[in-house]
Amino acid sequence: MTDLAIELSGVGKTYPFFSLDNIDLKVPEGQIMGLIGPNGAGKSTTIRILMGLVHQDRGEVRVLGHHMPAEQVAAKWDIGFASEDMRLYESMTLGWHMSFIQSIYSSWDAAYAQLLLKRFGLRAEQKIKGLSHGQRVKATLLLVFARRPKLLILDEPTTGLDPVARHEILRELTNVMADEGRSILFSSHNTQDVEQISDQITFIDRGRIIDSMDKETYLDRWRRVRLEVPFGIDLPALPGIIGIRRDGRLAVATANEFVPGLANAYESAGARIQCIESMTLEEIFVANVEHSREEVEA
């Protein structure tokens, strides 16, 4: 059995205007899990629960084998956490922050920290207030990476970064995963970033997990089928088709469990297949969210 870096079972949290419902999530050790959701979906709340900063009202949370929030101190020794709304002390230098973290963690890798300084184009003697947004994010991640944590929890770390900075950070995340024992939970609403590095992907919307599986399975299963449908013919409802958009003689069917038999079934019904297209992760995400919302509202 694979050890789990993160395990959430039936986790819920209720606020006056938002609730996180019945979250089940498993991240095996050595895997990168991308947590994708629109703004306000519950990504940050889920992550705060994982870090013990918010107590769940219901359900069990285990991180690196520790029950959260009760054992958060023990768990956090091995967690590297960075979030989009995290800031370093502006009046102090990056070097001061490096010394501060080094004074706490015996796992601090000074040689790797120096390497990251070079790779990220940062200078230890520079004050944080003099850094650009991208440099601040890189400085924060340097402090996280150089302590060599077993688990990285990153809440929208690439938000607001230019493509070059995003690329540098994603490349470094890939380097971090060279050690197979490490795991990453990476939340974002940027599907490109998640698609680039994740092994597993979870979609979350309106406080519920709407789908979770490995990236390749998503990309294999989801297809868009473009059809020409003569007037007077109704397309059959087929399993694996989550939506059909029709405009005159043209129709587009979205499949979340595509098998070649679906196309045959449409042809048997009198439609002509124009093409079967693969979908990007962003298209899958949007279609998934829309389908989930329709199901909830129905």
Give me the residues that bind other proteins (CB under 8 A), please: 48, 51-55, 69, 72-74, 76-77, 79-83, 85-92, 96, 100, 103-106, 140, 144
Decide whether 80 or 134 has the Cβ nearer to other proteins: 80
Decide whether 35 or 289 has the Cβ nearer to other proteins: 35
36 exposure class (CB count in 10 Å sphere: 0-12, 13-18, 19+): buried
Q: Taking the complex as a whole, how short is the minimal distance between the CB of residue 89 and other proteins, in angstroms?
A: 6
Decide whether 53 or 233 has the Cβ nearer to other proteins: 53
Question: In Å, how far are 20, 62, 134, 186, 203 from 10, measured between CA atoms?
Answer: 10, 12, 36, 21, 16
Decide whether 21 or 290 has the Cβ nearer to other proteins: 21
Question: In Å, how far are 106, 148, 250 from 242, measured between CA atoms?
Answer: 52, 43, 17
Q: Taking the complex as a whole, how short is the minimal distance between the CB of residue 159 and other proteins, in angstroms?
A: 14
Decide whether 2 or 39 has the Cβ nearer to other proteins: 39
Greatest CA separation found in the chain?
A: 75
Measured distance CA(82)–CA(61) in Å, rounded: 19
β-pair partners for 35: 187, 202
8 A C-beta contact, residue 185 and residue 174: no
Decide whether 74 or 110 has the Cβ nearer to other proteins: 74
Question: In Å, how far are 11, 87, 105, 202 from 6, measured between CA atoms?
Answer: 13, 25, 22, 13
Q: Taking the complex as a whole, how short is the minimal distance between the CB of residue 147 and other proteins, in angstroms?
A: 10
Q: Taking the complex as a whole, how short is the minimal distance between the CB of residue 77 and other proteins, in angstroms?
A: 5
Q: Taking the complex as a whole, how short is the minimal distance between the CB of residue 104 and other proteins, in angstroms?
A: 5
Q: Taking the complex as a whole, how short is the minimal distance between the CB of residue 222 and other proteins, in angstroms?
A: 35
Residue 64: name the closest of 131, 5, 148, 149 by CA. 5
